[in-house]
Amino acid sequence: MSSNVSVNQTPSGQSYTVCKHPVLKALLTRLRDSNTSPSSFRALLNDSSRILAYEATTDLELQTAKIQTVHSECDGAVLKDNIGIVPIMRAGLGMEEAFLAMLPDAEVWHLGLYRDSKTDRAIEYYNKLPQGCGLDLAIVIDPMLATGKTAIAAVDILKEWGVRRIKFVSLLAAQQGIINLLDAHPDLALYVGDVDATLSPEGLIIPGLGDAGDRQFKTQRRG
């Protein structure tokens, strides 16, 4: 495990990993700043996601592969598992490029989910998962983990599809969202960039950084 992470526990004893990298902390400060432009926000989110991708993949298994160098044959290593990256749309799209840079041979499967603020339920609007799952590991990516409702729904969908090992990676999480997600899925490996203590009555992370999708795509409501 990297020295730039800490392993924390929920009140019920479920473990999750928080990245403590100083560069990530500096990037997150700029992401939180309401004066950061959409173009800068996208770039900062990509840079932050590269750090998270590194931390979330330090325990991937390897298998031996023989290669031919310029001078001789030698043993090398390749990733053992068939890995899928699963961005939760639309905000998760901003993390996709960074994770593909780390795992260029991974499959990418998008899920469209949002939390209905009136019913507090996760609504699924996009799912093109095929019949039969060929993944050994799915890495779900979403910049924000607030109430945990959409995260729980995404993991539910992947488990029903047949994925046995799942990691969830989020840039910023609310403490209650972490508790809700790990209570629902205690076998999940959770990685977050930082934790905020408070959720608003509307289910927003406080102090947070706003709606990550709106800030990426310049769709904030005016007035």
Beta bridge pairs of residue 74: 67
| Predicted pLDDT at 38 | 94
Beta bridge pairs of residue 9: 15
**Structure tokens given for 217:** 């795509």
Q: What is the DSSP string of 5-28?
A: EEEEE-TT--EEEEE--HHHHHHH
Between CA 152 and CA 71 the distance in angstroms is 51
Q: Are 31 and 17 in contact (CB under 8 A)?
A: no
**Average pLDDT of span 53-78:** 93
207 upstream amide cis, omega within 30 of 0: yes
Question: Taking the CB of residue 216, how many other CB atoms lie within 10 A of it?
Answer: 18
Q: Are 2 and 58 in contact (CB under 8 A)?
A: yes
Rg, Å, the chain Cα set: 18
Helix (H) or strand (E) holding 1: none
Between CA 157 and CA 151 the distance in angstroms is 10
Question: Taking the CB of residue 35, how many other CB atoms lie within 10 A of it?
Answer: 6
| Residue where the block lists tokens 């603020």 | 117
Phi-psi region of 203 (alpha: psi -120 to 50; beta: other; left: phi over 0): left
Longest dimension (CA), the chain: 67
Instruction: Say whether pLDDT at 222 is over 70.
Output: no
What pLDDT, in 10s, does the model give residues 88-147?
Answer: 998 999 999 999 999 999 999 999 998 887 787 888 999 999 998 989 999 999 999 999
- List the one residue out of 132, 93, 131 whose CA is nearest residue 113: 93
Q: Average per-residue pLDDT in the chain?
A: 92
Beta carbons within 8 Å of 98's beta carbon, 6+ residues apart: 46, 47, 48, 49, 50, 52, 53
pTM of the model: 0.92
| Predicted pLDDT at 202 | 87
What pLDDT, in 10s, does the model give residues 161-196?
Answer: 999 999 999 999 999 999 999 999 999 999 999 999
Query: Range with the lowest mean pLDDT among 28-37, 64-73, 111-120?
Result: 111-120
